[in-house]
Amino acid sequence: MNQVLIVVGDATETVDTLYPYYRLQEDDFVPVVAAPEKRRYRMVLHEIPQGWEVSREFEGYTIQADIAFRDVRPEAYLGLFIPGGRAPEYLRYHADLLRITRFFFETNRPVGCVCHGIEIPAAAGVLEGRRMATVPKCQLDLEAVGGIFVNDPCVVDGNLVSGRTYHDHGRYIGPWIQLLKAARAQAQRG
């Protein structure tokens, strides 16, 4: 068991997606990009320009989905990563994605999440009582479902590792990778 799902859709944040995608490969994990359909998706870049109080969006790279949500058998994957961007706002209504997300929480497999990615596990109903980082403007989304907002670059709560924005990748991706390594070692021991 060496595959890790990365959730995408149109307007997924580029850095949120590509940093873990390549970081997984450095430790011999196989990232598998899952989306509503098996096709190419357009990503975006978010940045708050000097003097602005809200994010500005730029067109980013594209990424090919390896598998559609409906075809995902979550038991075949070691972990899950949910990037931010605007995509989670739309993806959170996808029944198969919610099924996948619930599986990873129910089976205590490693889940990484950043920024607006919070909207997917929130919609799946798996965050009650869980401590989590997210972009501060999504604090309400977390607290509305009974989660606990922590404004830190890395929050580890059991199987869930989270950061606020792509600026935190260097702080929370490492601990998430460590959980994946431990899970892989346990799976190899049987």
What are the pLDDT digits (tens) for 56-86?
778 889 999 999 999 999 999 999 999 999 9
Domain region containing 58: 3-189
- Tally Cβ neighbours within 10 Å of residue 173: 20
Domain count, the chain: 1
Mean pLDDT of 25-49: 94
Q: Residue 134: which pLDDT band, with cuts at 50, 70 and 90? A: very high
Burial class (CB in 10 A: 0-12, 13-18, 19+), 99: middle
List, for residues 92-130, the tens digit of each pLDDT value: 999 999 999 999 999 999 999 999 999 999 999 999 999
CB crowding 87-97: b at 16 or more within 10 Å, else e? bbbebbebeeb
Instruction: Output the CA–CA distances (angstroms, integers) from residue 164 to 72, 88, 112, 126, 181, in the order listed.
Output: 27, 15, 11, 18, 23
Q: Which strands, in side-by-side order, build the sheet including 111-114?
A: 67-68, 30-35, 3-7, 79-82, 111-114, 160-163, 155-157
Q: Residue 167: which pLDDT band, with cuts at 50, 70 and 90? A: very high
pTM: 0.96
**Is residue 171 over pLDDT 90?**
yes
CATH number at residue 32: 3.40.50.880
The predicted pLDDT at position 60 comes to 85
Q: In 99-145, at which residue ranges do the beta strands (DSSP E only) sit?
A: 111-114, 131-132
> Which residues belong to the active site?
116
Q: What is the mean pLDDT of the chain?
A: 96
